[in-house]
Amino acid sequence: MPLNEKFLKPYNPQETEPRIYKLWENSGFFNPDNLPKSYKLKTKSFSIVMPPPNATGVLHMGHALGLTIEDILIRYKRMRGFKTLWLPGTDHAAIATQARVEKEIYKKEGKTRHHLGRQALLKRIDAFVEENRHTMTSQMKTMGASCDWSREAFTLDEPRNLAVRTMFKKMYDDGLIYRGRRIVNWDPKGQTTISDDEIVYQEEKTIFYYFKYGPFTIGTSRPETKFGDKYVVMHPDDKRYGKYQDGQKLELEWINGPITATVVKDKAVDMEFGSGVMTITPWHDTADFDIAERHKLDKEQIIDERGKLLPIAGEFAGMKIADARAKVVEKLRAKGLVAKEEPYTHNLATAERTGGIIEPQVKLQWFVDVNKKFKIKSSKLKGIKSGSETSLKEIMRQAVASGEIKIIPEHFEKTYFHWIENLRDWCVSRQIWYGHRIPVWYHEPKCVPRAGHESDIEKCKEIIVAGEKPRCEFCDAEFIQDPDTLDTWFSSGLWTFSTLGWPAFAETATAGKPGPENDLANYHPTDVLETGYEILFFWVARMILISGYALGQIPFHTVYLHGTVRDAKGRKMSKSLGNGIDPIDVAKKFGADAGRMALIIGNTPGTDTNISEDKIRGYKHFGNKLWNIARFILENTEGVSHEENFEKYADRDAKLLAEAQNLLTDVTKDFEACRFYLAAEKLYHYVWHEFADKIIEESKTIIKSGDEKEKSSRRQFLLRTLEQLLKALHPFIPFVTEEIWSLWHQPTANRQPLTAKSNLLMIQEWPIAGSTE
């Protein structure tokens, strides 16, 4: 057949890529239920749930990296014959999204959320999120993401809402969720609690003060918190203070006058630090709170939720803590209580989303108890039997320790275990309006008796956990819902199974009964979770916790962690530096294929990678090179059919074919081991430096002056190798490979591009046979 005239022009990714993606979409083959009967389907499925990007804005190069890795995996497994599901979605990202919208409203209208009211603010946020979700979906398609859009999910849509409410009630009924007063990370700027994992530590240079506290010397970098310090703590084995007894009272002079201090002996004190003696501020320090809990000590609040001193500070009441520090020191100096001061560098805790300085506070919040033992009803977890006693922390530990979940790169397992060992109860309540509202209802303070049933009010329940507003059985009082929302990571923790039909299919999945419409049984546990290493604790660990608890199974078999995408100089991309690269701009300028290759080659798991326009441009040239290779081969094989069972290869061609087969076998092994960066690099170097530079050049001579046997052999080798290379490169550069395949395998006489239901490259069989199950 004559060469398609498109090959007479340079490859045009801007014209090609949107058309090819539409072709894929129209085929319906992103949905594993729609694969053609001719497709050699394995009985085993392969599934990935997309880490949902935050609905706060557009995608960046970090998202592009994740999408590329996931799409490579999905396209490879689809070509291996697996029933492949890649489920897309977006995250409501409660704190970040509300903060973004509130900031815009205040900037444009000078109004706060309290001026608008809850419902009006939520309406504004919903509109903002919907627009961003649409934009992000479009961006994902531009990048070539071959996910099943018919199953697209959102962490705050109604199916996920039902799942979250169901999970909260289940954990509450099992005694794993409780309400209590504990110390939390309070963000005065965002006016909400945040988790330990949402803290960003910034180095701060300050002064470390040593004060005389009766007969002792104590040290602190925060003198403004010391107004309520009435406990002096020392290690019970410290011989320097052996004459002081636990519980002993001491009269001494302090900031606002004489106080009575109590000696406390506790092994948490570091005898080597400073004088080995410290006072504690239980309301505003986690370690101090723990000491107070152990010894049942009083806790006094010194700083309010806005970061200002309370009346306990006397003359300093109402002052911001930053302004009060120097004044407090001067007062202590005037009393002769300043022993010495020295420069001090430490890490200051700030809120990731707002930048506010974290102020620990004791607050009434909702927590998940990670240490409490409970009986797991049904378990497929290695080392944890059905009906046995376990804890959420043990589930998290055992899932990885048993080898049931593999983390790539492996060295992150050590970090994971260290985090688990130091894990505290998880505070899941947030003082914001956007998000999953806590499904807890409180009875009005006063009962409203019903005539003739006045005595029934003794039976009224103070708290009810329910998805819908309950009605009191015994009086006419109302129930009022908790105003707080749940930590975003709570809803995200359900992501692998809430997106697959839980809780509707909970029983069938537990019983392991796959069915035509039972996604939960068909695709859970998922196979791979690909995400950034920075959310190993934010998200990955919590998915293991919740899936293990709810389903008695792991959420995924493999965790593949990628690093941060940096600029050519190794700097983190940011608006302030102006060094960001927009993946959509990359697609417009160089083509998505070029961006994908630039992100993958040289990018080992768990490490940061540098990228630049020059690097991307280089891989645009690679796409052009492949296009020119295809043009040469098809131009010089006109009228020649590719014979799959051709055996009359010349010795040279047989050798070249064996080398190509060895390469593809090696590349396949790299795919199976998740070494995508190596697979891509090997294919790149073979295509450019071996196939194009040597074999194609050699072929020009053979086709021009060789005998008929040599020509026939070489043409069959070229056709076979082109077919195999297009298949092997397809997961990396899907657009240009699909376009070449389309123009080569046209089904109609006028040789128009493939129609939606034709023999697309995306569902062709992988060039190397063999089981990967």
641-661: per-residue pLDDT in tens?
888 788 889 999 999 999 999
753 pLDDT higher than 60: no
What amino acid occupies position 706? G
Residues contacting 390, CB < 8 A, separation 6+? 373, 374, 376, 384
Helix ranges, 255-320 (H)? 286-295
- Strands (E) in 303-428, as ranges, are 338-351, 359-368, 374-375, 389-390, 406-408, 426-427
747 pLDDT higher than 70: no
Residues contacting 468, CB < 8 A, separation 6+? none
Instruction: Decide which of 398 and 192 is more confident.
Output: 398
What amino acid occupies position 327? K
Token pair belonging to 537? 């604790």
401 pLDDT higher than 80: yes
Given this model, what pLDDT does residue 515 score? 60
Given this model, what pLDDT does residue 194 score? 84
Contact yes or no for 668/676 (Cβ under 8 A): no
Lowest mean pLDDT among 18-27, 41-50, 137-146: 41-50
Rounded CA gap, 86 and 220, in Å? 52
CA 549 to centroid of chain Cα atoms:
20
Q: What is the band of 752 on the pLDDT scale with cuts at 50, 70, 90?
A: very low
Q: Residue 490: in which H helix or E strand, if any?
A: helix 488-492
Radius of gyration of the chain (CA): 32
Rounded CA gap, 321 and 284, in Å? 12
Helix ranges, 215-345 (H)? 286-295, 321-334
634 pLDDT higher than 90: yes
Given this model, what pLDDT does residue 614 score? 92
Contact yes or no for 366/428 (Cβ under 8 A): yes
Mean per-residue pLDDT, 584-599: 95
Mean per-residue pLDDT, 66-84: 96
Mean per-residue pLDDT, 512-527: 82
150 φψ region: left (φ > 0), alpha (ψ -120 to 50), beta (else)? alpha
Burial of 721 (0-12, 13-18, 19+ CB in 10 A): buried
**CA distance from start to end of the chain:** 40
- In tens, the pLDDT along 18-38 reads 999 999 999 999 999 988 876
Q: What is the band of 773 on the pLDDT scale with cuts at 50, 70, 90?
A: very low
Given this model, what pLDDT does residue 647 score? 82
Given this model, what pLDDT does residue 504 score? 85
- CA–CA–CA angle 682, 685, 687 (5° rounding): 105
Rounded CA gap, 291 and 295, in Å? 6
Instruction: Decide which of 569 and 320 is more confident.
Output: 320
β-strand 565-566 against 609-610: which pairing, if any? parallel
3-class SS shares of the chain: helix, strand, coil, % to 5: 45, 20, 40
358 pLDDT higher than 50: yes
CB atoms within 10 A of CB 608: 14
Token pair belonging to 370? 């990670």
Give the percent of the chain with pLDDT over 90: 80
Token pair belonging to 565? 């995408």
Reference 73, options 180, 146, 152; nearest CA is 146
Instruction: Decide which of 250 and 571 is more confident.
Output: 250
Residue whose tokens read 């052996």: 242
- In tens, the pLDDT along 159-202 reads 999 999 999 999 999 999 999 998 889 999 888 888 777 888 99
748 pLDDT higher than 70: no
Contact yes or no for 337/327 (Cβ under 8 A): no
Provide the 3-class DSSP secondary structure of residue 367. strand
636 pLDDT higher than 50: yes
Q: What is the band of 758 on the pLDDT scale with cuts at 50, 70, 90?
A: low
CA 291 to centroid of chain Cα atoms:
34
Given this model, what pLDDT does residue 754 score? 47
Q: Please name every residue paired with 255 in a beta bridge, in sequence order, or none if there are none.
A: none
Burial of 310 (0-12, 13-18, 19+ CB in 10 A): middle
Lowest mean pLDDT among 225-239, 323-337, 346-360, 743-757: 743-757
Rounded CA gap, 384 and 386, in Å? 7
Given this model, what pLDDT does residue 725 score? 98
Kindly tell me the sign of the dihedral angle through the C-alpha atoms of 291, 297, 300, 305.
positive
Lowest mean pLDDT among 235-239, 473-477, 645-649: 645-649
Contact yes or no for 211/337 (Cβ under 8 A): yes
Helix ranges, 243-391 (H)? 286-295, 321-334
Mean per-residue pLDDT, 501-508: 77
Rounded CA gap, 701 and 174, in Å? 77
- Angle in degrees, 0-180, between the axes of helices 676-685 and 61-79, rounded to the nearest 10: 80
Rounded CA gap, 545 and 171, in Å? 12
Given this model, what pLDDT does residue 575 score? 62
Token pair belonging to 59? 């995608």
Given this model, what pLDDT does residue 646 score? 87
Residue whose tokens read 């300043």: 338
Rounded CA gap, 255 and 313, in Å? 9
Reference 1, options 760, 752, 744; nearest CA is 744
Mean pLDDT of the residues in the chain: 91
Burial of 11 (0-12, 13-18, 19+ CB in 10 A): buried
Rounded CA gap, 752 and 267, in Å? 80
Distances from the Cα of 704 to the Cαs of 128, 450, 707, 708, in angstroms? 63, 103, 9, 10
Q: What is the band of 514 on the pLDDT scale with cuts at 50, 70, 90?
A: low
In the sheet where 231-234 sits, what is the strand order?
249-254, 257-265, 231-234, 277-279
Dihedral of CA atoms 112, 115, 118, 121 in degrees, nearest 10, equals -60
What amino acid occupies position 72? I
Contact yes or no for 436/366 (Cβ under 8 A): no
- In tens, the pLDDT along 543-561 reads 999 999 999 999 999 999 9
Phi, psi of 382 (to 5 degrees): -65, 130
Mean per-residue pLDDT, 375-382: 94
CB atoms within 10 A of CB 703: 17
